[in-house]
Chain A
C-alpha cells in the first residue's frame, strides 16, 4: 500500500518571472501523501503564484512540477517522462503527471488537482446545488454522451444525474449547507461560501486539494470548524491537502508539514514545531522589530 510519507507532489527548481519581477525563485519542495502541507510567508512572498503554477493557471518560467497517482515506485520513471516531453505517463500500478506541461483544466480533469481561490470564486447566480453539479461536469458529460445523447433524452443520463445529486447532497450535509441547497450561492454568508467552495472542489474527486487562504475572514469558531472539516475529509478520502494560510491557529494545529517562503525563496521547511522554533522564520516572516516578534511569538504559543 502507498504509505504515508511517500511524496505525492514534487516541485523542483520552480521559477516564475513576470517581466523583470521574480515572483518565485528556484523553489524546490515536496508534499507527502495524506499530509496537510502548509505554505506560509508574508504577503507577496509568492505563495499564490506557486499555487497558480501547480494548478496550471500560470506556466512557470522554469522548473518541474510532478504529481503521482498510485504506487510510489512510479517516481523512478520521472526522468524518462521529462525526457520524452510528454504530459503524463501511465503504468499498471500508477501514473505520473508533469503539471507544468498541462493546461489548467486538464490539471483538474486528469491529474485530479482541485483548488479554491483567495477571493472566493463561486457561481454567484447559480444555486448551491448547481455549483456542485457544475463541479461534476466531466463525469456527467460522459454520461450525457457528450450532449448528443442527452438532448435525445437517454435514460442513463438521468441515472448519472441522480448519482451526482447524491454526491452533492452528501457534501452539503458535511459542510452544513443542505438547507440552503436551492438558494443562490451569492446569497450565502461569507463563511458558508468558503465551505461551499471547498465542497465544490471536492466534487471534482481530487487526490490533491489546494486551498488558498481558506480561513481568511472566518471567526475563531468558524476556523475551528474548518480545521475539523479539513482533517475529516483528509482521513476519509485519503486526500493530500496543500494550504496557503495566514491564520497561525489553523496552520499550527492541522498541518503536518510547513514550508516558509519569503521573496519567492524558501527559507524554512519542516514540521510545525521546527518552524515555530526557527529564528530565521520569526525574523523574516514577522519582520525584525522586536515587539512584533514577541507579539507573534505569543500568538503561535512560544
Chain B
C-alpha cells in the first residue's frame, strides 16, 4: 500500500508521530510493537547496542513483509516500520512497528507477524557492547 511507511534512521524513533502518520478515520485499532534495548544478555551487563543495516535492501525487505501482511490480513489498513541504526542506549527503541485496522484482532496478529518476519529477513545486525567486551548477535540461519 502506498501509504505504508518503511524507514531506516539514525535518529531516535518518533513512535507517536508514526502512529499519527498512519491513522485514518477507518481505523478502530492501532497495535504498536516497540523493541527496546535491554541492559543484560545471559547475565552479562550490556552498555550499548550497535546496529548496522544494509539500508536500501532493509527497506525493500520491510516493504516485502508489509506486502505479505496485506495479503494475509486484507483488513489491515496501514503498516509502519521504522528501524534505527548506529549506537543505541539502554531502553531506547531499536524498532517500532505500527499496524492499524478497523478491529483489534488482525492488528495484533499482523503486528506479531511483522516483528517475527523482520527478525528473519531484514538485513540488520546488532553488536552487544558489554562492560568487558563486545559480541555480534548471531541470527538464525533461515532453513
Q: Are A and B associated in one complex?
A: no
- Residues of chain B touching chain A, judged by Cβ–Cβ distance below 8 Å, are none
Which residues in A have some Cβ–Cβ distance to B below 8 Å? none
